[in-house]
Structure 1
Amino acid sequence: MTQLAILVDADACPVKDEIYKVAWRRGVPVKVVSNSHFRVPQHELIERVVVSDAFDAADDWIAAAAGATTVVITGDILLADRCLKAGATVIGPNGKPFTAASIGGAIATRAIMADLRSGAGITGGPAPFAKADRSRFLQALDDALVRLAR
C-alpha cells in the first residue's frame, strides 16, 4: 500500500500548526505547497514544496500528486474538485469535508457569489475563522487519517 500523505495548499491555510501536530502524532508525511518561501518546522515528516509563481502552479502540483492515499487541505473549491476526481480525501481548513456529493453545490455557490460580488457591489469573503472551525478541522483530519490507514 502506498504511504499516506497530507498535501497542504499553504498560501492561505490558517491551520498549518494543527496539521503538523496531527501528522507528527500519526507519523504521516506532509507536503506544504506554495509559490513563495515561508517557514515550516524542521522535521523529517515536513517538506516544503515551492513551485513557480505561475497562475495555479501550486494547485497543479497538488492535483497531480493527489490520490487515494492523500488528504488534501484546501479552501479552494476548484482544487478540491480536481483532487476528489483523483481519488483524494479533501478537507477545508474549517474542517468541512469536500465530497463528490457536495462539490457540485460548492462550485455553483462559488460562481453565484463571484457574480454577486462583481455586479452588485457585494464585498467580503467567508466568515472569520473561529475556534470551533479549528476544533472541527482537527477532528476531521484525524478521522480521515484513521479511515485511510485501515
Structure 2
Amino acid sequence: MKIWVDADACPKVIRDTLIRAAERTGVSCTFVANHAIPLPTRHNIHRLQVQSGFDVADNEIVQRADAGDLVITADIPLAAELIAKGVQALNPRGELYTKETIGARLNIRDFMDTMRSSGIQTGGPAGLSQADRREFANQLDRLLAKRRR
C-alpha cells in the first residue's frame, strides 16, 4: 500500500498526522500538489509538484495510484474515480468513501453545486474539529493496521 495525498487543500494538521504515520510505519506517502509543500526529508515521504491547472493534481493521482493504495482527499469526484479503480479514498474528516456511499456523496455534491450556481449561498464546510482530527487519525490507523496483517 502507498498513500497518495491530494495536498493542494490538505489541512496542515492532517499532513502532520500523515507524516507521523509514515515515519512510524515506513509506508510510502506522496504529497501531490501544484505548489511547494514543506515536508521532512525521509526515504518514504515524497512530494510531487505538478503544473497548475484544473484537475492536474487529481489526474496525476488517478494515473499513479494502484488498487490497494490509499488516497487522502476531500474531492468527491476524485474519490469516485479512485474507488472505481480499486483504490481506497479517505477524506480529512475521517470518512472512508466506499462503493456503497460514494454515489450518495456525489449526488449531494452535485445538488449543492446546482444550488450555488442558482445564486443560493450555501456557505462552506465547517472547520476541522478535534473530533474530525481524531476520527481521521483513528481511521488511518485502522487502514494501516489492516495493511500489516
**Bucket of the pairwise TM-score, normalised by the shorter protein:** over 0.9
CA deviation vs aligned residue, 1:32-91 (integer Å, no higher than 9, x gap): 000111211111111000111132110001111222231100000011011111111110
Within the alignment, does 1:21 sit opposite 2:26 as a pair? Answer: no
Which TM-score applies when normalising by structure 2? 0.94
Q: Offset at 1:145?
A: 1.6
Taking the aligned partners of 1:21 and 1:84, their CA distance within structure 2 comes to 25
Q: Counterpart in 1 of 2:115?
A: 116
Q: Which moved more, 1:46-55 or 1:105-114?
A: 46-55
Percentage of pairs with the same residue: 38
Question: Which amino acid is the alignment partner of residue 6 of structure 1?
Answer: I
Question: Which amino acid is the alignment partner of residue 76 of structure 1?
Answer: D
Question: What are the ranges of 5 or more consecutive residues in structure 2 without an aligned counterpart?
Answer: none
* 1:65-76 correspondence to structure 2 within 5 Å: 65-76=64-75
Q: Which moved more, 1:65-74 or 1:97-106?
A: 65-74
Which TM-score applies when normalising by structure 1? 0.93
Aligned residue for 1:106, secondary structure, equals: helix
Report how many aligned residue pairs link the two structures: 147
Q: Counterpart in 2 of 1:42?
A: 41
Q: Counterpart in 2 of 1:9?
A: 6
Question: Which amino acid is the alignment partner of residue 30 of structure 2?
Answer: K
Contact 1:71–1:145 (CA under 8 A) maintained in structure 2: no
Taking the aligned partners of 2:58 and 2:127, their CA distance within structure 1 comes to 24
Taking the aligned partners of 1:86 and 1:121, their CA distance within structure 2 comes to 35
Question: What are the ranges of 5 or more consecutive residues in structure 1 without an aligned counterpart?
Answer: none
